[in-house]
Amino acid sequence: MTTLTNLLDLDPAQLIAYCGELGEKPFRAKQLQRWIHQFGASDFDAMTDLAKSLRDKLKTRAMIAAPAVISDHTSTDGTRKWLIDVGQGNAVETVFIPEESRGTLCISTQAGCAVNCRFCSTGKQGFNRNLSVGEIIGQLWMAEFELRRTKGIEPGPKGERQITNVVMMGMGEPLLNYEPTVTALKLMLDDNAYGLSRRRVTLSTSGVVPMIDKLSQDCAVALAVSLHASNDALRDGLVPLNKKYPLKELMAACKRYLEFAPRDFVTFEYCMLDGVNDSDQHASELLALVQGKDGVPCKFNLIPFNPFPESGLTRSNNPRIKAFAQVLMDGGIVTTIRKTRGDDIDAACGQLAGEVQDRTRVQDRMKKMAEYQEKFGKDFGRIVEISS
């Protein structure tokens, strides 16, 4: 039996090569790509401007298959969360956040995450596996056309686009699933696919320094860095990856990235943890860090911690968050406090835990985590039993 090629896995260049193998000219790949990513078509027979012979050929060799949706919830504030099946009892989450002037989709890149930040429930699952290109871009494909169907908006370039911004801030560390992430980014930017501008696509990383440099060369989209601490001792305890890539190296990488970035600042995300990283002294130390001689042009986005049962941490209170923001702003740094969205459907940052249905598979994840530790050093990640 021949396995069908999932065309969602192919970036523009790969689709041209694939069509070449079928004896077709490059413009056919463009047509095909538009059918897939602009019209949301998954049925080759619907692609009426392709020759019947080509459609028949495609039917026997290819498919357009996004991962299946397990559940679909809409919050009272309009935030919509899909739980996506990625096989073997694993699920990832995709979250749509509507705002007046834009619609943002938050995409996952891995099932679980090996970085294991102390305040993140995805990290507490351990690492399961990397998502494929089709599973990453498939989240955008599914969400854009599902949102249009819900609102009765026609597919195709003439229909009003529902997703105007993408943030890679769902489950997983995108820079530890590098190639599929970059391929998916290229599709998001391609004019024959989603045609999003680089400024409207943001990749968030916990700070994988060499990959930040690589991204600046391969596909420089807007960059957000999860900082969460004002010094190495504190960050070591919150983001274990800091032991491998400490703040000085991270700051230098951010600075280098900005030479290629579509924006002239990096966004630093900072999760506000009561009594841990939220004092005025921490804010002053941050100012010194980002404005000192190794400093980086930046904005701060303060994220009120979204608690989950086993974290043992609590959210800073609102007056504390405001006071912290004020110190940064008085120091001349643009600072925003992230509104919590989708609280009632567990769609807020760090609450994206997916569903791990089979506890025996913890063994499997432990093995994978051990492989990561071998690659990135023993301080990288920690194994935690999941409570399902």
Partner that binds at residue 349, options ligand SF4, ligand SAH, none, CB closer than 5 to 8 Å by kind? ligand SAH
Partner that binds at residue 116, options ligand SAH, ligand SF4, none, CB closer than 5 to 8 Å by kind? ligand SF4
Under rule CB under 6 A, residue 40 binds ligand SAH? no
Spatial CB neighbours of 191, under 8 Å, sequence gap ≥ 6: none
H/E stretch holding 5 reads strand 5-6
The DSSP output letter for 217 is H
CB of 197 to ligand SF4, least distance (A): 25
93 tagged catalytic:
yes
Spatial CB neighbours of 215, under 8 Å, sequence gap ≥ 6: 175, 178, 182, 203, 221, 223, 257
Under rule CB under 6 A, residue 354 binds ligand SAH? no
Q: Whose Cβ is closer to ligand SF4: residue 12's or residue 307's?
A: 307
154 tagged catalytic:
no
φ, ψ for residue 106, nearest 5 deg: -100, 120
Per-residue interface string for the shown chain with ligand SAH, residues 93-132, x marking contact by CB under 6 A = ------------------------x-xx------------
Spatial CB neighbours of 365, under 8 Å, sequence gap ≥ 6: 112, 125, 126, 127, 128, 383
Under rule CB under 6 A, residue 224 binds ligand SF4? no
Q: Whose Cβ is closer to ligand SAH: residue 204's or residue 230's?
A: 204
H/E stretch holding 235 reads helix 232-238
Spatial CB neighbours of 27, under 8 Å, sequence gap ≥ 6: none
Phi-psi region of 6 (alpha: psi -120 to 50; beta: other; left: phi over 0): beta
Q: Which stretch binds ligand SAH (CB under 6 A): 58-66, 201-209, 249-257, 260-268?
A: 201-209
Q: Whose Cβ is closer to ligand SAH: residue 55's or residue 244's?
A: 244
Q: Tell me the site size for ligand SF4, rule CB under 6 A.
A: 11
Under rule CB under 6 A, residue 122 binds ligand SF4? yes
**Candidate list 94, 116, 162, 183; residue touching ligand SF4; CB under 6 A:** 116
**Candidate list 33, 104, 204, 316; residue touching ligand SAH; CB under 6 A:** 204
**Candidate list 64, 95, 97, 115; residue touching ligand SF4; CB under 6 A:** 115
CB of 115 to ligand SF4, least distance (A): 3
CB of 64 to ligand SAH, least distance (A): 27
Give how far Cα 13 sits from Cα of 20, 26, 63, 300, Å. Answer: 11, 9, 18, 36
Spatial CB neighbours of 289, under 8 Å, sequence gap ≥ 6: 230, 231, 247, 251, 295
The interface with ligand SF4 within residues 342-371 (CB under 6 A) comprises none
3-state secondary structure 32-79: HHHHHHCCCCCCHHHCCCCCHHHHHHHHHHEECCCCCEEEEEECCCCC
**Candidate list 93, 146, 173, 278; residue touching ligand SF4; CB under 6 A:** 173
CA distance 9 to 79: 27
Residue nearest to ligand SAH (CB): 350
Q: Tell me the site size for ligand SAH, rule CB under 6 A.
A: 16
The interface with ligand SAH within residues 156-175 (CB under 6 A) comprises 169, 173
**Candidate list 44, 141, 305, 380; residue touching ligand SAH; CB under 6 A:** 305
Candidates 19, 24, 93, 219; catalytic one: 93
Spatial CB neighbours of 274, under 8 Å, sequence gap ≥ 6: 305, 313, 314, 315, 316, 317, 320
**Strand 103-106 vs strand 165-168: parallel, antiparallel, or unpaired?**
parallel
Q: Whose Cβ is closer to ligand SAH: residue 58's or residue 84's?
A: 84
3-state secondary structure 108-143: CCEEECCCCCCCCHHHHCCEEEECCHHHHHHHHHHH
Candidates 117, 120, 271, 349; catalytic one: 349
CB of 8 to ligand SAH, least distance (A): 22
φ, ψ for residue 169, nearest 5 deg: -135, 15
Of 100, 128, 101, the C-alpha closest to 113 is: 128
The DSSP output letter for 163 is -
The binding site for ligand SAH (CB under 6 A) comprises 117, 119-120, 169, 173, 204-206, 226, 269, 271, 303, 305-306, 349-350
As annotated, the active-site residues are 93, 349
The binding site for ligand SF4 (CB under 6 A) comprises 113, 115-117, 120, 122-123, 172-173, 206, 226
